[in-house]
Amino acid sequence: MSAVVARPPSGCDAPPILRERGQREVFCGLTGIVWLHRRIQDAFFLVVGSRTCAHLLQSAAGVMIFAEPRFATAIIEERDLAGRADMDDELDRVVGRLLERRPDIRMLFLVGSCPSEVIKLDLSRAAARLTRQFLPQTRVLSYSGSGIETTFTQGEDACLASLVPELPGSDAKQLLVAGALPDAVEAEFAGLFAQAGVGPVRFLPPRRATELPAVGPGTTLILAQPFLTETTRLLEGRGARLVTAPFPIGAEGTTLWLQAAALAMGADAARVEAAMAPGIARAKAGVARHRPMLEGRRIFFFPDSQLEIPLARFLSRELGMELVEVGTPYLNRQHLAGEFELLPSNTQISEGQDVDRQLDRCRAAAPDLVVCGLGLANPLEAEGLATKWSIELLFSPIHGFEQAGDLAGLFTRPLRRRAVLEV
């Protein structure tokens, strides 16, 4: 309900950060299942929640299911909420039936929700009990995707954090890339690191639950996503050393990210440059195609995905867009330090949300493009503003050199659509 003005992490001439604590319009952490279930291909996500949770998942992901489902919802019924049923017994029964029907599941995540938190269902205890029962076939873990005080990308952070205690220990020198990436992007990064002479390189989460990367004092950690605060804390607790850099979004971000990781691993700078050169050229050419449509246009970010700061940096520096306001649900100053240095010094950043006030600021500014959640997009479109759904940026491959042009295209599409409608 309040707004606080704070100083940014660096640069005394930089504008203050507007901190807001009011009504928020964001998805909950269950949404992360939509991209995580495609990533860890022998895992299953069992949400312990309500019919609302089931509807959210079905509407967000239903159209994307093309094979055996890898997630489901165990519905907490009214008699469960009233305490008239033994929830532990019911959960054991549901999990037993599921694993009997699906012996291919190697890792089962019990995902907590608002209702399971409200009735204080202890899913970590249930996971430990079920792991004892189903190992070695299946390991059962738990995390919370509840929407109480969280944003939708924190679901991935909570999921990866639940994996960290399961990782084997190792002192060996290696690079660990944390953050869920589509297969094509992971392959691009793995290829570039190999050409640069950097290795071994492991990714968290892995494609298969049986291929968990090791971690220890020889691990150099670099983040592919900016919302992994808890995962990073736990990996550092296991001995990993974090390298911070701008995130691998756009030609510039990808260059700086690869350089930081490679040099921290002791790679030869000239070899790293040579490995990156063709990708940089392709990324710049891909982005240049979209610049005429975006240059000089004004963009406003509502806080949603925590990708807002890296995206704003990309759109401002590589496409010439003007940043009206860059809202983000949460600012991790350490992880985003490299990004702040690249943002224009007059960028208005806001952290948290008071949605009515922010809507007023947005309407008054009348930007050319608004990046926001689904709940705000339709009303703003009806008011004549062009919008981009921030959640689409999590479902689409946006990292790396090869995706830079397509990423820019995601921002030209709403402007093209509006131009067509106005003809």
Binding site for ligand SF4 (CB under 6 A): 28, 30, 49-50, 52-53, 56, 113-114, 145-147
Instruction: Please list, residue by residue across 4-19, b when 16 or more beta carbons sit within 10 angstroms of its beta carbon and e when fewer do.
Output: eeeebbeeeebeebbb
* Distance of closest approach, residue 148 Cβ to ligand SF4, in angstroms: 7
Which among 253, 245, 258, 243 is positioned nearest to 194, based on CA atoms? Answer: 258
How far apart are alpha carbons 407 and 254 in whole angstroms?
A: 13
In b/e form, how buried is each residue of 324-340, taking b as 16+ CB within 10 angstroms? bbbbbbebbeebbebbb
Min dist CB 355 to ligand SF4, Å, is 16
Residue placing its CB nearer to ligand SF4 in the complex, 145 or 179: 145
Question: What is the closest distance, in whole angstroms, from the C-beta atom of residue 73 to ligand SF4 in the complex?
Answer: 9
Identity of the residue, 57 or 127, whose beta carbon is nearer to ligand SF4 in the bound complex: 57
Residue nearest ligand SF4 (C-beta atom): 147
Instruction: Choose between 8 and 373: whose C-beta lies nearer to ligand SF4.
Output: 373
In this complex, which beta carbon is closest to ligand SF4, that of residue 155 or of residue 279?
155
Helix (H, G, I), strand (E, B) or coil at 200: coil
Taking each continuous run of H as one helix and of E as one strand, the counts in the chain are 18, 15
Are 215 and 166 spatial neighbours (Cβ–Cβ below 8 Å)? no
CB of 164 to ligand SF4, least distance (A): 23
Find the shortest distance in angstroms from Cβ 143 to ligand SF4: 12
User: How far apart (Å, rounded) are the C-alpha atoms in residues 354 and 361?
Assistant: 11
Closest CA to 250 of 402, 129, 126, 67: 402
Cα 72 to Cα 360: distance, rounded to the nearest angstrom = 39
Which lies closer to ligand SF4 via its Cβ, residue 50 or residue 254? 50
Nearer to ligand SF4, 50 or 316 (CB): 50
The distance of closest approach from Cβ of residue 177 to ligand SF4 in the complex, given in angstroms and rounded to an integer, is 29
Residue 224 CB, shortest distance to ligand SF4, in Å, is: 25
Using the structure block, give the residue that is written with the tokens 């959960």.
Answer: 91
Instruction: Give the nearer residue to ligand SF4 in terms of CB position, either 28 or 235.
Output: 28
